[in-house]
Amino acid sequence: MPQLIALAMASALAYTGYRWISKYRKRKFRMTHARNKEPDQPRDLGELCWDETDGVYRPRR
């Protein structure tokens, strides 16, 4: 009988730990994504010019 009580206590502890870690990860995920939220509008880079060496458009300086 004591083994069943120990098993029940260990199971309750494992479940409580799982719930705590789950809440912690959700909270951390929300905080990270709130901080890294992209702006709603695209940034205005001004006039772009073609860079021959790299083959891409870059903001004019």
Contact by Cβ (8 Å): 59, 48: yes
- Tens of pLDDT, residue by residue over 22-54, are 999 999 998 888 777 766 777 888 899 999 999
Q: What is the pTM of this model?
A: 0.51
CA 47 to chain CA centroid, nearest Å: 34
pLDDT at res. 39:
65
